[in-house]
A and B are shown apart, each in its own frame.
Chain A
């Protein structure tokens, strides 16, 4: 007879499910300004605690506090607010357009606007992002035209990627935005390869890799960390932890690790957690990590702690898997309101100006949509040619594709 009790499988569960009252009191939120800012040439082993804390700059009163504050001027901060407001307005219009049948699918950023909008402002022209589908703020903050984004969402005749990709899978080499795959995590190791190429070429450009909390479970994530660590690649490895991978809470991918940032510690790279709803904190940390990469000091792993307020996409309903009011209870607040309050406190912004800016931005987005719709929407108006489906598979069309194109009658 065995002395051992029978084993049982541990399957992590979120603490709250539909019907429960949201409660994040167990999430430890350090005070804004309380986490130290090490020098960029710090030894990773000396800042291990940063992988378990949360770097925050903006406090509840809208003040910028501590050693990570001050990376942006008031003017730059105002521009940041406009970028986030633009992305939010853009999302609302495109979500509506999807409901109206003008496209097949859409994915919003609600609650996560600060992450991509602020990060982009830490990069230089020539740097390359390898984004996921929820970082369109990288494009908005780099000045990519909203009309081109909409042309892509509508898969119309002016779609920069010629109707070949699902909506929101943008691509713009010029704006440092690598083509989005949709097979999760694949771009993470590619970013490391791109960064290695910059080093091989004795360039000064850096790469920035993006992944969600759920996709860190993919092999590509781990390969990327090994390669980045081994070759000390000039890359910033970004994990956007928005708590939810469609219906699966982040604990399923995180497992026994305390945080996602802590994954970096075993690879000997600095690993930082940052308040993803704090525009100033995101920018300051991005700037620190980008500078490290560009100075040849190697990769940095950054976890953005945020919350996906909306559904994963237009194809799911979060009320089926989490409490309806959970997002209201999220303790890190709304990134737009937090930055707005900060700017008001600085004396460079007001409620009236904010309302006015909202209206202006809304007008701009509506005008862009009108312009884009002239080029067609998914099921109406101009669309990419069928002939074009056969182009671009190879640099030169091989004979078998030529024959198939003829068969298709185009």
Chain B
């Protein structure tokens, strides 16, 4: 099986989707001739022509608004927002339009768009290139939100997202583009070519939305994570020696509640980890669900480890980023409480 980076896997997903369905179009800032600032769309314009893969003016609302109109016509736009930090001008189009079109028109018009955007920190991008805005999407009825943690999932989930009849927000943890990152920023970088999850099937395949993946089975406690935090949690489990069950949620909406509940009922303990800020973060939703469904199985209070409620900093990146040390401390606390 070929090994790919997450960038190559994402490109392969779009390539295969464009080859299979001429309705699939790809566009965004620097996406056409140049192939995207992260190179996710490299070669697509040459292969499929300028009318199916093209550069846009710098207008995120324009990109998403045009995509909605195209989807209403019958195309399948898969658009790129250069950084998740830049999507805010498009929020009205996403929330008031894409998410509600099927509902408000009683199915006469739908909006099967995919909005891809690099998310998260760990690259010294400071407050305009590091945010994790997933909770701003999970709060919206009518959207689906995906965050893959590896090349194999990224490709299968992106193809599934493009084929999905509803609008999908596809958040790509940019720190994982070139290799799994466990939060040890001072250690050598491992490339995907040296990791099993860098093995990506060549052709078409999908990974269903709404299915979590148990990345590590364990009996002591459950860690709920997604994106970059999946690997941080795995590292923390190894380093603390705690037999943690690490779940990569993969899709936040729809959520695989069944897998979460089965795990917490088994372990009786739960730590929730995300890079995004704490207050009203997706972790709050997860904690509420675990409490509602697993209260009588819980041995100790649920712990959340997240980014601090501050803007994402520059010089202080590693004091902000919830690394394996902080996650490990929470795991120990949950065991000792």
A positions within 8 Å CB-CB of B: 128, 130, 160-162, 164-165, 169, 171-173, 178-179, 181, 183, 186, 188-201, 207, 219-220, 223-224, 226-227, 230, 392-395, 398-400
Residues of chain A within 8 A (CB-CB) of B66 are 189-190, 192-193, 196, 227
Question: Nearest-CB distance from B137 to chain A (Å)?
Answer: 14
Sample of 11 more A-B contacts, CB < 8 Å, known A193-B69, A197-B69: A161-B105, A171-B108, A173-B108, A181-B96, A181-B97, A189-B61, A189-B69, A223-B59, A227-B59, A392-B102, A398-B253
Q: How far is the CA of A64 from the CA of B144 in the complex (A)?
A: 55
Say yes or no for B254: interface residue by CB 8 A criterion.
yes
Residues of chain B within 8 A (CB-CB) of A392 are 102-103, 106-107
Residues of chain A within 8 A (CB-CB) of B93 are 186, 189, 220
- Which of A189, A190, A398 has the most chain B CB atoms closer than 10 A to its own CB? A190
- Please state if A395 and B25 are interface contacts (CB–CB under 8 Å): no
Q: Which residue of the partner chain B has the closest CB to A389?
A: B103
Residues of chain B within 8 A (CB-CB) of A224 are 62, 65
**27 A-B pairs, CB-CB below 8 angstroms?**
A128-B73, A171-B105, A173-B105, A179-B104, A179-B108, A183-B92, A188-B65, A193-B66, A193-B67, A193-B70, A193-B73, A194-B70, A196-B66, A197-B70, A197-B73, A198-B73, A219-B61, A220-B93, A224-B62, A224-B65, A227-B56, A227-B57, A227-B59, A395-B164, A398-B253, A400-B253, A400-B255
Residues of chain A within 8 A (CB-CB) of B165 are 394-395
Say yes or no for B51: interface residue by CB 8 A criterion.
yes
Q: How far is the CA of A335 from the CA of B166 in the complex (A)?
A: 43
Say yes or no for B19: interface residue by CB 8 A criterion.
no
Q: How far is the CA of A400 from the CA of B102 in the complex (A)?
A: 18
Q: Which 3 A-B pairs have the closest CB atoms?
A: A193-B69, A193-B66, A189-B65
Q: Which residue of the partner chain A has the closest CB to B67?
A: A193
Say yes or no for B125: interface residue by CB 8 A criterion.
no
Residues of chain B within 8 A (CB-CB) of A173 are 105, 108-109
Q: Which residue of the partner chain A has the closest CB to B167?
A: A394
- Please state if B69 and A190 are interface contacts (CB–CB under 8 Å): yes
Residues of chain B within 8 A (CB-CB) of A194 are 69-70, 72-73
Q: How far is the CA of A199 from the CA of B255 in the complex (A)?
A: 38
Residues of chain A within 8 A (CB-CB) of B70 are 193-194, 196-197, 200
Q: How far is the CA of A195 from the CA of B75 in the complex (A)?
A: 11
Q: How far is the CA of A161 from the CA of B51 in the complex (A)?
A: 34
Q: Which residue of the partner chain B has the closest CB to A177?
A: B108
Q: Which residue of the partner chain A has the closest CB to B166?
A: A394
Q: How far is the CA of A151 from the CA of B114 in the complex (A)?
A: 34
| Given A161-B104, A179-B105, A392-B106, A200 contacting B25 (CB threshold 8 A) | yes
- Please state if B68 and A190 are interface contacts (CB–CB under 8 Å): yes
Residues of chain A within 8 A (CB-CB) of B97 are 181, 183, 186, 190
- Please state if B253 and A179 are interface contacts (CB–CB under 8 Å): no
Which residues of B in the span 213-253 have a Cβ within 8 Å of any Cβ on A? 253
Which residues of B in the span 83-142 have a Cβ within 8 Å of any Cβ on A? 89, 92-93, 96-97, 101-110, 141-142
Of A196, A201, A393, A395, which one neighbours B69 at CB under 8 angstroms?
A196
Residues of chain B within 8 A (CB-CB) of A198 are 73
Residues of chain B within 8 A (CB-CB) of A394 are 102, 142, 144, 165-166
Say yes or no for B311: interface residue by CB 8 A criterion.
no
Residues of chain A within 8 A (CB-CB) of B67 are 193
Q: Which residue of the partner chain A has the closest CB to B52?
A: A200
- Please state if B61 and A223 are interface contacts (CB–CB under 8 Å): yes
Residues of chain A within 8 A (CB-CB) of B56 are 227
- Which of B66, B74, B89, B107 has the most chain A CB atoms closer than 10 A to its own CB? B66
Residues of chain A within 8 A (CB-CB) of B110 are 395
Residues of chain A within 8 A (CB-CB) of B51 are 199-200
Q: Which residue of the partner chain A has the closest CB to B55?
A: A230
- Please state if A220 and B65 are interface contacts (CB–CB under 8 Å): yes
Question: Nearest-CB distance from A355 to chain B (Å)?
Answer: 38
| A-B CB pair tally, cutoff 8 Å | 142
Say yes or no for B298: interface residue by CB 8 A criterion.
no
- Please state if A395 and B102 are interface contacts (CB–CB under 8 Å): yes
Question: Nearest-CB distance from B191 to chain A (Å)?
Answer: 36
Q: How far is the CA of A145 from the CA of B300 in the complex (A)?
A: 63
Q: How far is the CA of A399 from the CA of B255 in the complex (A)?
A: 8
- Please state if B254 and A193 are interface contacts (CB–CB under 8 Å): no
Q: How far is the CA of A165 from the CA of B108 in the complex (A)?
A: 14
Q: How far is the CA of A164 from the CA of B72 in the complex (A)?
A: 19
| Given A395-B110, A395-B165, A399-B254, A227 contacting B92 (CB threshold 8 A) | no
- Please state if A400 and B254 are interface contacts (CB–CB under 8 Å): yes
Question: Nearest-CB distance from B64 to chain A (Å)?
Answer: 9
Question: Nearest-CB distance from B121 to chain A (Å)?
Answer: 28
Question: Nearest-CB distance from B41 to chain A (Å)?
Answer: 16
- Please state if B25 and A393 are interface contacts (CB–CB under 8 Å): no
Say yes or no for B335: interface residue by CB 8 A criterion.
no
Residues of chain B within 8 A (CB-CB) of A178 are 72, 109
| Given A161-B105, A394-B166, A395-B110, A201 contacting B75 (CB threshold 8 A) | yes
Q: Which residue of the partner chain B has the closest CB to A195?
A: B69
Question: Nearest-CB distance from A183 to chain B (Å)?
Answer: 4
Residues of chain B within 8 A (CB-CB) of A172 are 108
Residues of chain B within 8 A (CB-CB) of A197 are 69-70, 73-75
Q: How far is the CA of A183 from the CA of B96 in the complex (A)?
A: 7
Residues of chain A within 8 A (CB-CB) of B69 are 130, 189-197, 207
Q: How far is the CA of A197 from the CA of B25 in the complex (A)?
A: 9
Residues of chain B within 8 A (CB-CB) of A400 are 253-255, 257
Q: Which residue of the partner chain A has the closest CB to B165?
A: A395
Question: Nearest-CB distance from A115 to chain B (Å)?
Answer: 22
Residues of chain A within 8 A (CB-CB) of B201 are none
Residues of chain B within 8 A (CB-CB) of A186 are 65, 92-93, 96-97
Residues of chain B within 8 A (CB-CB) of A399 are 210, 254-255, 257
Q: How far is the CA of A190 from the CA of B97 in the complex (A)?
A: 10
Of B52, B141, B257, which one neighbours A393 at CB under 8 angstroms?
B141
Q: Which residue of the partner chain B has the closest CB to A172?
A: B108
Residues of chain B within 8 A (CB-CB) of A393 are 102-103, 141-142
Q: Which residue of the partner chain B has the closest CB to A202?
A: B51
Question: Nearest-CB distance from A193 to chain B (Å)?
Answer: 3
Q: How far is the CA of A196 from the CA of B56 in the complex (A)?
A: 12
- Which of B73, B97, B253, B255 has the most chain A CB atoms closer than 10 A to its own CB? B73
Of A190, A200, A395, which one neighbours B65 at CB under 8 angstroms?
A190
Question: Nearest-CB distance from B15 to chain A (Å)?
Answer: 18
| Given A183-B97, A196-B66, A226-B59, A190 contacting B107 (CB threshold 8 A) | no
Residues of chain A within 8 A (CB-CB) of B92 are 183, 186, 220
Residues of chain B within 8 A (CB-CB) of A207 are 69
Question: Nearest-CB distance from A187 to chain B (Å)?
Answer: 8
Question: Nearest-CB distance from A374 to chain B (Å)?
Answer: 20
Residues of chain A within 8 A (CB-CB) of B210 are 398-399
